[in-house]
Structure 1
């Protein structure tokens, strides 16, 4: 069964024919109810399919709802053009976020060419005015091989329409001109484009990779679009317009359930004046509100002139048409209930996020079954399922989603439109610190050409203490290496001390390091020789429960996650104790690998200890493990200062009696009074945060015990052991799909900036960290923030609070009951709040 069958099932209902026959003419409204889950998106998709000449506008209250509908429509409609026109993140005309700016200009360009059939947007975006529609008509460029254009004039044109000239293109809205090579990366391009000129003629047109700067495949046409808010005033005479000016007169407006158009228009209008006034107080040159936004009443009058289908809640408002659909039965991760449900005679479609989920769910549905499951498993993601009840002649249809079956939240992940140039981290740039094998630490000053006798030689220039320079011929470049440390050089870390050419300090440091390595080698050879000959019973192979746990993971595994899972399972199913280092950045999915390993150990009848550096992290891991293992008979306990002495005593007794399967705790787990009945796996999170004594205690525990170490920043010794082959290592280098880069700004303390940044995050439904690392004044800072942003729910957290109070505040923040957390550096160790996308660090220099 395919996804078009979902539209067919809705269109066969008599009530859908009634909607088609009573579509509202311009200026009138049809109220429709009875659309649970993603049935609202299915109705929009069905209307678009049955009305091939109509233009549909869906006005959701905010970006999250619009993105959910966009994702649903992309799943339901393969060929119908659907687009989102998002609002600007700020209230000025310049949009700093390239993803938002790019999506706006691309949508307007496609809308101007009549390509879009369904447009999703928000009241705020409908209110905004922009010069882009007129600028697109005047300034859009099409470049083809064989075109005749003067490179200098082309460069001047790009600067007028908002592009930045750079030596090398590394990001969108940039261009570079080097001789006859012209690189440009515009909105609307899947990849940047390189033009080769012979005189004024474009002789070659190819894409190129930002990371390597190498040309790739040829391209027939390159379209260059202006940059939103950056077009010079003398470049175009276009007036500012609202996007509503581009809608055809017979456009059909759809308002999803819960949308409040007029209140949102008025709220945007009021907030715009407030934020623009703050910008003026900061000395910024901003246009008047009337120039940047239409008045709410005028926009409401324009929208009221279109025919409107308003989706309503029948319990709150009278509907003209009511669909007989209902929400699907809750499964709550009960696979036995799901097996019974799909065999009740109603055709069932189960939508899975990816092929891997389809395969795992298929195994679960057909396990121990005599007949194959009648459910149709289809790759596709929708926000929620629904049921078309059986009728006299119809068998009905049940639509389920895998995230509802496994009771997990669906997060809409949108593909990033543009890539940024991330050059090899080992590539040297002028100013980098380097280490020369014979002379020590210096500063790399670049490549120069020098005369040697009658010829020239290219050399790498390294500057040492006192300004002395060493010329390293490129054929001896292997003696140079970029300086690396446990905490690599960055803007916050102090720079390394330079060595002096011909000095003795570098030779002495090298000798000391060599002696320490020899001592460590003897110790490690003894330890790891004993581990090599040690053995323990193998863990059990994957069970149905293991497959069910992995199927319930919220996201699609990255390739590195799949490899890490395979590596860890292979280690655990052998008879040699595991000692694996799992290296991956924050958010790359290390904790999920740990959950799977722990569950595998528990199914083998063994206990698991998860060692974390802070109480906050222990509490977070306890929630993660508890939620992931909630449907299985696994006992998870926590041991940290959040627990009372009585609770700790009960946990210690439970571990000794094997009543606790998984214990998560800080270094308290390493105390002599803590003993395990059958410890199978030790999971160490952020090993570098533990002291020497803690690691000595770990050594005693782990001779015949599996050890899985998770870290984003491996300490040099740990990394050396892995690279030398004494410890196994898995690298998780693949970021989660479509992860956005982190943007960092250094600004003076300013209430207007604070209010704008916090308000922007709250408007998108997000949360904010405010780090203030002085307990004496943290309450005063929180009170000040309450005056600056009165609508934000603010809480304070620091390490001197009572454990229960701190635990309650952190739990409220993670669960979304607190908008702004003012805290000390107690949040630094891996605290995971996916909804928090903005952090202010007060006095970052301290």
Structure 2
């Protein structure tokens, strides 16, 4: 919409108001704006008044919404300045994203750039890093610069960056030869700086997912990674002030020494930011960074209330820090009092935004604007149950007749297309805007209706301007936005297990069995050197495996509890183990193929395509569908429209959206007049699904009932009669549904939740349904993609692996077990009307813990659950917690994987050091189900009394993110558990015997063999060329990164694959040295050797020797012609080897070229 040059601004009053502000009017009130209209007004101001504008909101939630709205309305240079996401003086640091956004905004303000800053009042109450410190700690790097590299690296450490082998997380950097990778928290992607000598040659952003470079950058503005900059001077000042303050607070001397030692070692303890006043006495108010700003006060009365609330939070933080004997400064040194803040506000020009157009009597100029929100439209739509869109259609036609401009804003193109489909039958055309309707460069939009894509959750109407803006959420209910990013992509990457390999891990050699990895060894044999994988077998036997043979080994993964013993090198044991495994795998393959054949031959009901009512139901889903969730829905609907009965497994953790997939399938079945049964393993899950289905389908004529022990015999009888007569559409129940007295009039769809948790008899009964009824199975345990691929075409599988919204926002704290911590954690959760899980995994002492908790938090209603309880009693306790009848559930690890309790957002795990990584990961996944902040407290007896392994596990789970290695480890462990569930105990034993990767390889071969498909025999050529071919440690110091690259080169199937790896090496580490280039050339030749099925190539100074597979792809005629044509060069020996005579004084390059030309002549 228009800028200052436009003859028809959206809000005609604004140019006059802007003129008054230019002339110096100090206080103006804009009254009457509702919905997102204030954001539109501020956006127009940002164009009419190109200066620093600071929009002050009551809290972070309001600030976030305003930021999204301002971006939608194209405000100039929107810069968020969020408040820290930790409580005052908490022993935790703000998230790097938060610090990055704050520092980026401060840098913009330092430069004097016009921008629109959005901040909650709490962010402005905090004193911040002095201008001079930030200015001195920042630097700009551009191509052609010649910075002193050692000085730059020292500066990065002082700026809070951590040195690591691989840059995946914000606030980290890595040095590799002439390349420096760095991830500033203020940037969306990390940056790769490539040096040529001492000169910066290029700057490129890169993808942390695959580490590949993206676009070149003209320059890099490097800001600190924390709001605390260490320097020798500031550290010395800190040590001096520390003694004084610690003496005042009686902080023990050993704790002071530990803190100083960590800082001197460039390590930043959690919560160090709250000690800023001990580093700098001259912390400044936010306003010290501003230059003649306009302050926009959103609902000033609310701002005053929020400031007072923040003052209380600061006082509570001081009290808590004191009770825990933690070092903290005087609060006045870090925070302004509310009165101090508003005195600073009064020194600047102010624009107050109020919903009500009333003068406040303080002498401000009032500009009333007539606007309306869309509440009346929402109410009308809610009342009209029969025609959800009826009131909207009527209103759209009225506005169209009155020449209004109407804009409907959808979050996603798929939702916009859905709305177009829904409105078409009413004769309403709503084109999707090809351009941004609020671009300042565009003239006023013509009268009419437009759809556009944007992040807007509330609209408004301006009658005087004949403008209506409607947000999708106002039509179909609130939609929760998922965080953008690469999370789903990361989990879809095939696990590069070698990236986490460490000495002592078990590995599987296809020919020699399970051995122990002892590291990557660099050996010299004569004049030739290379890298070898060292494996140790029983009796301390050692196997040195050349890196070109890496295709023969895999990291051992045998599932939970599997502890493999090393095989005897050269003994018969491994061959026996493999033969037994092959027999078991072939039995499974035969069973799978039998089920597959029956399905192919069966004829089921072919459901109709989705209609208008189905699309309307889809539109009311309160979340944004993720791509893999949409894919699963399309898979299911496609299966249902096929005449062959559906048998699909939908896999995804709780909150990932499986239930919605089931709901849409169920609704489609009901629309076609079919009945639906949802079978669950426990009464608790039955109750949970029943509530979900009832809430989601309440606006539609669908009858739903539950069959479980919580229903009386009379209620069950009535439900069964209605089911038999066809009066009941959807029945949800436990194994009770599988009993013989349950009869359907016309069952069309059976949904099974967690099938692996049913007994053998129940599974047999389920098999009888598979021939004629569409079946969809849901599971919350991840299934490995490799297993899915090996069973492709046998069982249909949809994987949903985009995490639920804000899953990564769970704040994880590892702490000593203290009464104060437990009391505070529980009390804080109860004060926000939440619930708490307390995990104590020892039944014999759970009663003692319950008594301790009752004394610590007497106001909490505590219930206890563990596996030794009677099943009915356990269900009663769990269901009571689910329905809010207790505040705290003290439980063992039996918390159900499917349990979804949105109000439970705090978890305390007792003796967390005794849990495995995947256990901790899955336990923590029980919280964080809603949009509020979640906390996981992992309690330990003391850092000195836990093992090094436990310390590492806790560090990983604390730091875990969608980009880190810890996420891959945890999900891999869980996937193995899922594989065990899917395959059954017998096959799980086979996996434990031979390792998961070899198991899936053999299963794939067995299925292909039974299908009659011709199996391509695997050929792993052995290459002994006496040429140095390896990746030097001086080039890539990290052993695991070298291993991953070796494995990728060995697995390459084309020259393009090899070129891709070499290109990546060049990109990430600089120009590959000669030994690495030679390795790449040999790997290209290896591909051709595999194509011809050459088993081995040996070389000495005089000749090459090629040994062929019995079923080689080289024809006898080709060999004969070769020998006849050049008998001086080629000879064939009686033991079927081809000798290639080399020219005298051949170099390494000559040897490789001779091998290449020979392979060409042989047909590769």
Give the TM-score of the pair, scaled to structure 1: 0.86
Which residue does the alignment assign to 2:314? 272
Q: Aligned-pair distance for 1:505?
A: 5.8
The reply to whether residue 403 of structure 1 matches residue 476 of structure 2 is no
**Alpha-carbon distance in structure 1 between the residues aligned to 2:3 and 2:692:** 34
| SS of 1:343 mapped into structure 2 | helix
| SS of 1:342 mapped into structure 2 | helix
Which residue does the alignment assign to 1:689? 757
Name the CA shift for 1:203/1:717 in 2 (closer, same or farther; >3 Å).
closer
**CA contact 1:352–1:358 (8 Å) conserved in 2:** yes
- Tell me which structure has the larger Cα radius of gyration: 2
**Alpha-carbon distance in structure 2 between the residues aligned to 1:387 and 1:540:** 40
Name the CA shift for 1:667/1:187 in 2 (closer, same or farther; >3 Å).
same
Name the CA shift for 1:166/1:639 in 2 (closer, same or farther; >3 Å).
same
Q: Aligned-pair distance for 1:67?
A: 0.7
Q: Aligned-pair distance for 1:154?
A: 1.0
Q: Aligned-pair distance for 1:571?
A: 1.3
Which residue does the alignment assign to 2:857? 786
**Alpha-carbon distance in structure 1 between the residues aligned to 2:902 and 2:826:** 16
Q: Name the structure with the higher helix share.
A: 2
**CA contact 1:84–1:120 (8 Å) conserved in 2:** yes
The one of 521, 526, 540 aligned to 2:608: 540
Pairwise CA RMSD? 4.0
Name the CA shift for 1:511/1:546 in 2 (closer, same or farther; >3 Å).
same
**Alpha-carbon distance in structure 2 between the residues aligned to 1:10 and 1:275:** 46
Any stretches of 5+ residues in structure 2 without a counterpart?
Answer: 235-278, 432-447, 866-870, 916-1164
Cα shift readout 1:149-178 (whole Å, capped 9, x = no counterpart): 221111111111111122332221112223
**CA contact 1:27–1:305 (8 Å) conserved in 2:** no
Which residue does the alignment assign to 1:376? 450
Name the CA shift for 1:405/1:510 in 2 (closer, same or farther; >3 Å).
same
The one of 285, 288, 293 aligned to 1:245: 288
Name the CA shift for 1:521/1:179 in 2 (closer, same or farther; >3 Å).
closer
Alignment coverage as a number of residue pairs: 823
Name the CA shift for 1:210/1:352 in 2 (closer, same or farther; >3 Å).
closer
The reply to whether residue 430 of structure 1 matches residue 502 of structure 2 is yes
Which residue does the alignment assign to 1:678? 746
**CA contact 1:86–1:103 (8 Å) conserved in 2:** no
Q: Aligned-pair distance for 1:516?
A: 2.6
The one of 640, 646, 656 aligned to 2:708: 640
The one of 659, 662, 669 aligned to 1:594: 662
Q: Aligned-pair distance for 1:570?
A: 1.7
| SS of 1:130 mapped into structure 2 | coil
The one of 335, 341, 350 aligned to 1:299: 341
The reply to whether residue 351 of structure 1 matches residue 393 of structure 2 is no
Which residue does the alignment assign to 1:364? 422
**Alpha-carbon distance in structure 1 between the residues aligned to 2:295 and 2:764:** 70
The reply to whether residue 325 of structure 1 matches residue 396 of structure 2 is no
Name the CA shift for 1:777/1:674 in 2 (closer, same or farther; >3 Å).
farther
The one of 616, 635, 638 aligned to 1:567: 635
Name the CA shift for 1:642/1:437 in 2 (closer, same or farther; >3 Å).
farther
The one of 879, 889, 897 aligned to 1:829: 897
| SS of 2:398 mapped into structure 1 | coil
**Alpha-carbon distance in structure 1 between the residues aligned to 2:579 and 2:182:** 51
Name the CA shift for 1:203/1:715 in 2 (closer, same or farther; >3 Å).
closer
Which residue does the alignment assign to 1:99? 97
**Alpha-carbon distance in structure 2 between the residues aligned to 1:105 and 1:152:** 25
Deviation larger for 29-38 or 473-482: 29-38
Cα shift readout 1:457-515 (whole Å, capped 9, x = no counterpart): 43222344565443333232222223334xx5xxxx54523333246665554344333
**Alpha-carbon distance in structure 1 between the residues aligned to 2:119 and 2:555:** 48
Name the CA shift for 1:505/1:711 in 2 (closer, same or farther; >3 Å).
farther
**Alpha-carbon distance in structure 2 between the residues aligned to 1:283 and 1:469:** 54
Name the CA shift for 1:555/1:108 in 2 (closer, same or farther; >3 Å).
same
Q: Aligned-pair distance for 1:783?
A: 3.2
Name the CA shift for 1:9/1:232 in 2 (closer, same or farther; >3 Å).
same
Deviation larger for 522-531 or 396-405: 522-531
Cα shift readout 1:633-671 (whole Å, capped 9, x = no counterpart): 222223334433333333322222222222233333223
**Alpha-carbon distance in structure 2 between the residues aligned to 1:118 and 1:548:** 38
Q: Aligned-pair distance for 1:694?
A: 2.5
Give the TM-score of the pair, scaled to structure 2: 0.64
| SS of 1:167 mapped into structure 2 | coil
**Alpha-carbon distance in structure 2 between the residues aligned to 1:273 and 1:71:** 32
**Alpha-carbon distance in structure 1 between the residues aligned to 2:145 and 2:369:** 56
**Alpha-carbon distance in structure 2 between the residues aligned to 1:465 and 1:594:** 51
Name the CA shift for 1:114/1:637 in 2 (closer, same or farther; >3 Å).
farther
**CA contact 1:183–1:193 (8 Å) conserved in 2:** yes
Cα shift readout 1:804-833 (whole Å, capped 9, x = no counterpart): 7854642449xxxx9876656564323345
**CA contact 2:651–2:800 (8 Å) conserved in 1:** yes
Which residue does the alignment assign to 1:11? 11
The reply to whether residue 614 of structure 1 matches residue 657 of structure 2 is no
**Alpha-carbon distance in structure 2 between the residues aligned to 1:550 and 1:419:** 22
**CA contact 2:780–2:897 (8 Å) conserved in 1:** no
Q: Aligned-pair distance for 1:226?
A: 0.8
The reply to whether residue 388 of structure 1 matches residue 462 of structure 2 is yes
**Alpha-carbon distance in structure 2 between the residues aligned to 1:659 and 1:283:** 66
The reply to whether residue 71 of structure 1 matches residue 143 of structure 2 is no
**CA contact 1:578–1:708 (8 Å) conserved in 2:** yes
Q: Aligned-pair distance for 1:43?
A: 3.2
Which residue does the alignment assign to 1:748? 816
**Alpha-carbon distance in structure 1 between the residues aligned to 2:568 and 2:356:** 82
Any stretches of 5+ residues in structure 1 without a counterpart?
Answer: none
Name the CA shift for 1:421/1:715 in 2 (closer, same or farther; >3 Å).
closer
Q: Show the 5 A alignment for 1:393-792.
A: 396-406=466-476, 408-413=477-482, 415=484, 425-428=495-498, 429-431=501-503, 432-452=505-525, 455-464=528-537, 468-485=541-558, 488=559, 493-494=560-561, 496-502=563-569, 506-713=574-781, 719=787, 723-735=791-803, 740=808, 744-754=812-822, 769-772=837-840, 776=847, 779-780=850-851, 783-784=854-855, 786=857
**CA contact 1:534–1:576 (8 Å) conserved in 2:** yes
